[in-house]
Chain A
């Protein structure tokens, strides 16, 4: 049971490039989400999904796309990277997405956009 896994661990992009951050979980969780972590700002919700085929925007969705074709995977796409997207990105999952549910976090992807 690997929990929540994320790839890559580190990535450097040039402005305007695109890339996909991968997230997978093997706990059969329905709810998955993406956060970005910036110094002094805690973690902010980018997008979330309450099941395969269902996604919605969080607090800071601009510049990011998501899709959920399977229960296990929830990739985050940067369409045209900008320096403002330099951050650490965390994927999380919970069993049913209820407000009382514990969310389990992956190890993070550290992204630098030059």
Chain B
């Protein structure tokens, strides 16, 4: 069984400051990892994902994440926050050994950006 833990349900950052959102997983095999963003009253949009290959993954809107197998982590970062980054962020995993990609989501982290 897999599980995903996002540390911090709410994060407040100043405009221009580093954004760091933490995601840890528990899984018998290294999972595929995803970060999604949800803007108010909208559906989820893929930011980035890691399946195989380079462990540092770059996504849209200046975000990146690094898969660290030894730490079972996939933290999301952005060097400089923008007001438009205010949203809820979800980490999700799938099991590579499954026939189908059934997502297991974390509880989400709400990001507030202050001027």
Q: Which residues of A contact B (CB under 8 A)?
A: 4, 31, 33, 35, 40-45, 48, 50, 58, 90, 92, 94, 97-108
Contact = CB atoms under 8 A, between A and B. Distances in A.
Interface residues of B, number: 27
B44 A90 contact: yes
Given A31-B100, A43-B92, 20 more contacts: A4-B43, A31-B101, A33-B102, A42-B107, A43-B105, A48-B100, A50-B100, A90-B43, A92-B44, A98-B100, A99-B32, A99-B94, A99-B100, A99-B101, A100-B32, A100-B51, A102-B34, A102-B46, A104-B46, A105-B43
Secondary structure at the B interface, as helix, strand, loop or mixed, is loop
Given A99-B32, A100-B94, A106 B101 contact: no
A33 B102 CA distance: 9
